[in-house]
A and B are shown apart, each in its own frame.
Chain A
């Protein structure tokens, strides 16, 4: 049993950033907005988090800065797609290109600088339980936050009035507007939440996963998070399964590289991307599941008539 601990820890740390980013995007898409800028928001979150933690020496301030950074550029996206009804696909791409460039520009001064680590929080008593203790109760604060957020988002979407409004706006914006709900306001909040989560996910990368800054360190994780939302059929519970699957694939790639099988490292690095394609194909064949759960107004702009 002892041998399982290492792999499980790696899987959980590798899946946490995907889970965080995908969770935010899930809420955004539930409101009917498709934000393809997750990769860019993560990159900005990562550099803001690293810069703030490094300049102040306080990792917690880094976490806040990461969230804030993600939200600021998500705000730009909201302004464009909701305020000026621009094409959401194109605006999301613009956000990714801009975010990757901006993060590299800001981070230029921080390349090669060692970052402050994030302390692990040991939950007294529980963290001493063999096997489960180290895995579930001796993580850093952001991992706990991610998993708590899954439950919170699930509860919000399916058990609260606010969640019902969110889904109504995403499924039929004309009716939601006619009922008096502020479609644009709901969507803006959902976009900002998505930005906060993506920023946090980026912060996780630069503060916990590999405590340093390198340009393009997000390495497509924002895009994988987008695929995860489709895989999860917009259901938070399924998101956990998907994120853990990707965590396991990342672990497998590292493991195979470590024991030195005769496969070039580039092919092992391809694994997460190839898995994403396979996962998308498999889920897309299940058309009923997708038809029931896809927000009906996903990607459509709305101009309220007054």
Chain B
């Protein structure tokens, strides 16, 4: 399971490198990456809600999430916005307000780093749940501003 998702990650990264700014490649790669973030985060949340959370799975999941979070800025190359002609929920303001967008990406990476560090030492939901909330807040902060809400 983890191997498959890691392979998907590598594929997404390779596609992204090859893409330069071809929106037909960059946008699907971004969507793939974001879905991988969702899958990984759901895995963490499922563990935290489980009767007996698996500390090892939490450690691995939070590490992977942190790795993914650090890639997020790279998923938004110039030319992969709504003007590209390819359907995307990314708003043009990502590229017109780069300082704020990158500040939000930095906040996300800081939150995922704190979560991964926390999971190194503890598998206790009481410790990790507040850190997970911080990550969720960072996801939401960016999506509220920079993602169009489809129904």
* A and B are interacting partners: no
Residues of B within 8 A of A (CB): none
